[in-house]
Amino acid sequence: MTVIDVKPLTDRIRAYNPAIDDDLLSRAFSFAEKAHRGQVRASGEPYFTHPIEVAHILADMHLDPATIITALLHDVVEDTDVTLEQIQQQFTDEIAGLVDGVTKLTRIEMKSDNKQAENFRKLVLAMSEDIRVLLVKLADRTHNMRTIDHISRDDKRKRIAEETLTIFAPLAERIGMTHFQHELEDRAFAVVNPEMRTSIISRLDYLSTQSEDLVSRICDELNTTLYEAGLESSVSGRRKSAFSIWRKMQRQKVEMEELSDIMAFRVLVPDTSDCYRALGVLHQKFPMVMGRFKDYISTPKRNHYQSLHTGIIGPNKKKIEVQVRTPEMHEVAERGVAAHWGYKIDGKSVKPNEYKQLKWLNDLMRVLENADSSDEFLEHTQMEMYADQVFCFTPKGMLVTLPKGATAVDFAYDLHSGIGNTCIGVKINGKMRQLATVLTNGDQVEVLTSSTATPNPEWENFVVTGRAKSAIRRFIRQEKQKEFAQLGRGLLQKTLRQAGKDLVDSTLLPCLIHYNLKTDDELFARIGEYHIASEEVVAMIYPDLKPIEPKKTKTPTPKPSLNIKGLIPGMAVHHGRCCYPLPGERIIGIITTGKGLTVHRVDCQNLEKFTTMPELWVDIEWESDTPNIVNARLETVISNEPGSLAAVATTISDHGGNITNIQQTARNLDFFTFVTDIEVSNVRHLTAITAALQSNPFIESVERAKS
């Protein structure tokens, strides 16, 4: 039997933390080894080799003992008979809390198809409590990717790799763990697209043989240039990874041969002022590639990353990327949130769980609150994680970091959801601009708000941040729910009136229990959406009541020959969709090739086309006292507020009209414009409906639609 020793792990931790509690670590090691005894991995190795490797990965990051012990114990609750209470008794509340956070991520129901989305939602919830949960999970995923070839099923390997690329690698980047990010990307890329990865690596190897020692020669020349300018520096270079090259090919829609900057160089200088001096020296010596300079020192990334980035035509006329930073900045760039744990800030150690104050993590939590489903949450957060950044300012100088392509509405929602929901305009650099304006680096943005304003659903078409999209969608859902609830209440009241009863909210409790609903408004909304019939609800409230027969409003439409005088026998007849003629109005017929006879109102503007063709005109008129059901068309302008559309529908229904089609044609912050097709019996019927609509407080104007 293979003997697994704790000493290599203890020695690795003691190298950076001499005060380690050997006894606590040894007890955790033995506890986990005993719990996993008898379990094996797909490779045939003892399962406990996996937690040990995860612990070693975290020890290489110089993490605290509690996190490393969590790595040893991270699978015992999920995969063995050990309980969380036992861990709490044997170790500490801190360790038990971390193990619980990691365990919750894997306890997911296998019944639904949105496992990945639900997994990510739970991951964000767990890491919002303590960022170390994410670090353990990243180390766990890294070791699993290192051993993924032992999984026999191709579909399972591909699913794990795709999840790694879409969730875990971007999360590693967001907390600054670039070594995690690059390894996860490369190993996942090898599974998802092995042919492309092999092709890119082969091309890189070929280029290396064509320009032997090119990287070292460029490093030497950069070092010499900075030394001659009186700057102490250390320069290192590398070729970019296959995945980063492939992603750039996808983003720029080019072939690999068209990419010239496939090498990146890092310049370390003693302090911040030297960073800017070194940048100036390099730009004086070598031509700068326009549009490639980024200053992440004055405006750090959301993961606290700082560095100067530039592109130059360097030695040997090669286009290269150069990053200039201090050793402290480099430590943060390599180790991310873990970098600060070895330092003192204002005399106090930074605790790992204080990193739940990271802005991007707060943004994810707000998106989670607004999202209607796990899939929607995953969609929005992936947009956030993959985006480049734009830095803007409020009038008071507060920095706001947004993804590239963000608009003024994204800016408003980033400040506060209340500001986004009530914004009515924006000033960018002191000038009025449209809310859809795309922001650029350095813009000063002033958001104008009104307490009576509400989000415009059309904003969803141009905002790019998950936070803005989820807030707008949430508002739309709430408003639709209110309108359906108002419409449903009206339908139920109407049905009750037919039964001689009044609506009393207290009588609805049996219905709420039956349909498993919490509030009356939920019931009304279900009725308004026609998911529940109002007659069914009345029968449930008053079971002894005689069943209500649905009102028969449909009458068979008479043939045109029965209600219009003067028609040509055998000729097809159509009502003009340009003017929608109604019984009671003067009409005229026009013979149209291929269509037969079309009926128009005598004041229809389209009749002007036929003034020189009198042979096409036919004198016709409506039969009197003949029942008709014909379509009329109204153009209605209603106020942009909750309940307005429901009020229109209820008014038309109460006056015997039947809506056959409704289409929104315009909308702004204050009003909607709708074209509505309504079945009526004659012009007097339409006049009565129009008068009722005009008296409705929600309606600004209503008139017959013009051709």
- Domain definitions of the chain by residue range: 7-191, 197-340, 474-541, 560-622, 630-704
Query: Using CA atoms in the order 565, 566, 569, 575, what is the torsion angle rounded to 10 degrees?
Result: -70
Read off the pLDDT of each residue in 539-549 and give the average, rounded to a whole number.
75
Q: Which is nearest to 355 in space by CA: 176, 142, 222?
A: 176
- Residue 487 and residue 649 in contact, taking contact as beta carbons nearer than 8 Å: yes
Q: Which is nearest to 444 in space by CA: 387, 388, 389, 390?
A: 390
Tell me the residue ranges of DSSP E strands in 533-582: 564-565, 573-575
Separation of alpha carbons 485 and 527, rounded Å? 8
Asked if pLDDT for residue 477 goes beyond 50, the answer is yes
- Per-residue pLDDT of 196-222, as tens digits, reads 898 888 888 877 776 667 888 889 999
The per-residue pLDDT of the chain, averaged, comes to 80
Asked if pLDDT for residue 359 goes beyond 60, the answer is no
Read off the pLDDT of each residue in 268-294 and give the average, rounded to a whole number.
92
Q: Which two tokens stand for residue 179?
A: 């070594």
Would you place residue 594 in the very low, low, confident or very high pLDDT band (cuts 50, 70, 90)? Answer: low
- Per-residue pLDDT of 156-175, as tens digits, reads 899 889 888 877 887 787 77
Read off the pLDDT of each residue in 673-700 and give the average, rounded to a whole number.
87
Instruction: Show the 3-state SS of 619-656.
Output: ECEECCCCCCCEEEEEEEEEECCCCHHHHHHHHHHHCC
CATH number of the 197-340 domain: 3.30.460.10
Asked if pLDDT for residue 316 goes beyond 80, the answer is no
Asked if pLDDT for residue 406 goes beyond 50, the answer is yes
pLDDT of residue 353: 44
Higher pLDDT, 693 or 205: 693
- The residue with tokens 């802005």 is 359
Tell me the residue ranges of DSSP E strands in 178-221: none
Would you place residue 128 in the very low, low, confident or very high pLDDT band (cuts 50, 70, 90)? Answer: low
Long-range contacts of range 120-123, CB-CB < 8 Å, 24 or more positions apart? 120/167, 120/374, 120/377, 120/378, 120/381, 121/368, 121/374, 121/377, 121/378, 123/167, 123/171
Distance of CA 266 to CAs 196, 197, 216, 226, 388, Å?
A: 27, 25, 12, 13, 21
Read off the pLDDT of each residue in 474-486 and give the average, rounded to a whole number.
79
- Could you tell me which residues come within 8 angstroms of residue 19 by beta carbon, excluding any fewer than 6 positions away? none
Would you place residue 395 in the very low, low, confident or very high pLDDT band (cuts 50, 70, 90)? Answer: confident
Q: Which two tokens stand for residue 197?
A: 């990865």
- The residue with tokens 């990945």 is 116
Separation of alpha carbons 161 and 152, rounded Å? 14
Q: Has domain 7-191 been given CATH number 1.10.3210.10? A: yes
Which of 40-49, 96-105, 238-247 has the highest mean predicted lDDT (pLDDT)? 40-49
Q: What are phi and psi of 46, to 5 degrees?
A: -55, 140
pLDDT of residue 108: 36
Asked if pLDDT for residue 20 goes beyond 70, the answer is yes
Q: Which of 79, 331, 535, 536 is catalytic?
A: 79
Burial group, residue 38, by CB count within 10 angstroms (0-12, 13-18, 19+): exposed
Amino acid identity of 104?
Answer: K
Asked if pLDDT for residue 229 goes beyond 60, the answer is yes
Separation of alpha carbons 411 and 422, rounded Å? 13
Name the percent of the chain lying above pLDDT 70. 82
Q: Which two tokens stand for residue 559?
A: 């043939």
Asked if pLDDT for residue 558 goes beyond 80, the answer is no
Helix %, strand %, coil % of the chain (to 5): 50, 15, 30
pLDDT of residue 387: 47
Q: Could you give the residue ranges of the DSSP H alpha helices within 657-700?
A: 683-694
- The residue with tokens 């708000």 is 449
Q: Which of 5, 60, 78, 173 is catalytic?
A: 78
- Residue 689 and residue 633 in contact, taking contact as beta carbons nearer than 8 Å: no
Question: Quick one: fold of 630-704?
Answer: Alpha-Beta Plaits (3.30.70)
Least trusted range by pLDDT, from 84-88, 122-126, 468-472: 122-126
Would you place residue 110 in the very low, low, confident or very high pLDDT band (cuts 50, 70, 90)? Answer: very low
Q: Which two tokens stand for residue 474?
A: 């949430």
- Per-residue pLDDT of 429-455, as tens digits, reads 888 888 989 998 778 899 999 888 888
- The residue with tokens 């038990």 is 96
Distance of CA 542 to CAs 4, 410, 502, 545, Å?
A: 74, 51, 11, 5
Measured in whole angstroms, the distance separating CA 508 from the mean position of its chain's CA atoms is 38
Read off the pLDDT of each residue in 253-263 and give the average, rounded to a whole number.
67
Which of 124-128, 148-152, 299-303, 466-470 has the highest mean predicted lDDT (pLDDT)? 148-152
Q: Which is nearest to 377 in space by CA: 133, 124, 128?
A: 124
79 is catalytic: yes
Separation of alpha carbons 61 and 331, rounded Å? 11
pLDDT of residue 352: 47
Read off the pLDDT of each residue in 662-667 and give the average, rounded to a whole number.
83
Would you place residue 36 in the very low, low, confident or very high pLDDT band (cuts 50, 70, 90)? Answer: very high
